[in-house]
Copies of this chain bind each other. A is one copy, B any other.
Amino acid sequence: VAENETKSLSLGEIAQFAGALVKGDPEIRVVGVAPIETAGPDQLSFFTDARYRPLLEKCTAAALIVPPSFTDLEFPLLVCDRPYLAAVRVAKLFFESAAPSAGIDPAAHIEPGAEIGAHAWVGPLAHIGSGSRIGEGTCVHGTAYIGRNVSVGENCTVYPGAVILDGSRIGRRVIVHSGAVIGADGFGYVQDEAGRHEKIPQIGIVEIEDDVEIGANATIDRATFGRTLIRRGAKIDNLVMIAHNVEIGEDCIMAAQAGISGSSRLGSHVSLGGQVGIAGHLEIGDRVRLGAKSGVHASIRSDQDMAGIPAVPQGEWVKSYANIRRLSRMREELRQLKDRVQKIEEALNEP
């Protein structure tokens, strides 16, 4: 994961790629991107916030990507409207060239009947089950496990120790981080006559669309019947739990350790803070945002910001906590008022 140090690009080339204007010598060459605090004289950096101007005094970067409001800076500049987004894209340019070469490592274990696409890579001690197809350019790292009848699309990355179980369908450009488990049984039981939990067989699958990222040690369970579905562009952080038959909408973003119970459905662009919990069989509308640690026990309409356990609109949550903090004073006021009423009553009762 080191930058490819032999690759260098000129400011002119980068400007063309990023749709930026060069202010300074377009022939200056850089070998990577770094923040202003650490960028060396052969690296590009970015500057977007006037508060950090003092950091520029010691900055040794070769050049800066800046918005039009900072064209006065005494550095070679690349000027564009969204400098941080441009910096990210330029960083990727250096970074992506470090991909492993294609092929199947001799220590990989490929079952007969598995198909590995062109330019794909399967690392040592990785396993691909029979009936599975690995797309072109996809990288299955060492010790990853792909079960049977799994399809993994093009240009995916499956990191070491990730497990994708039988029948899962993975789209294109999906990233599955180490230790993530896709397609374990959903958690479903029915009580038998004696009150014991009898397992409901989980015979559905997991389907993951294009451009999804699944964090390390996250778990996405297979459906009881049918499918658990993660739609295009959803980003799921480490240690998140997605239960059976859940549907996650396009471009949802779920921070670490959040959990969604069975059969709940999230709309698109939903944003979950860390450690959020959502009960089962709920509908969460588009663009709902849930503060960290909230607990959701009822469906939520679109475009709501919610927080708390149970989750309530963000404003109501803030007010409730302010009220709770005032409770001691309120009790004191109530006590004083009782005294005053007591005195009035005594005064009125005097002969």
Contacts and interface: CB of A to CB of B under 8 A. Distances in A.
Interface of A: 1-3, 32, 34-35, 38, 82, 84-85, 88-89, 91-92, 95-96, 107, 109, 111, 124-125, 127, 142-143, 145, 147, 149, 159-161, 163, 165-167, 175, 177-179, 181, 183-185, 187, 189-190, 192-193, 195-203, 205, 211, 213, 215-217, 219, 221-222, 225-226, 233, 235, 237-239, 241, 243, 251, 253, 255-257, 259, 261, 269, 274-275, 277, 279, 292-293, 295, 297, 309-310, 312, 316, 319-321, 323-328, 330-331, 333-334, 337-338, 340-341, 344-345, 347-348
Given A277-B293, A324-B324, 11 more contacts: A1-B202, A35-B226, A91-B200, A125-B127, A127-B142, A161-B181, A184-B216, A259-B274, A310-B321, A323-B331, A340-B345
Contacts of A259: 239, 256-257, 274-275
The majority secondary structure among interface residues of chain A is loop
Nearest to A343: B345
Nearest to A35: B225
A277 B307 CA distance: 14
Contacts of A183: 1
Within the oligomer, what is the number of copies of this chain?
A: 3
Contact of A219 (B226, B238, B251): B238
Contacts of A165: 1, 159-160, 178
Contact of A145 (B161, B190, B338): B161
Nearest to A297: B292
24 contacts: A2-B166, A3-B203, A34-B225, A82-B193, A85-B192, A88-B190, A95-B203, A125-B143, A145-B178, A159-B165, A159-B184, A175-B199, A181-B217, A181-B238, A187-B237, A189-B235, A215-B219, A219-B256, A241-B256, A312-B325, A324-B324, A326-B331, A330-B331, A337-B337
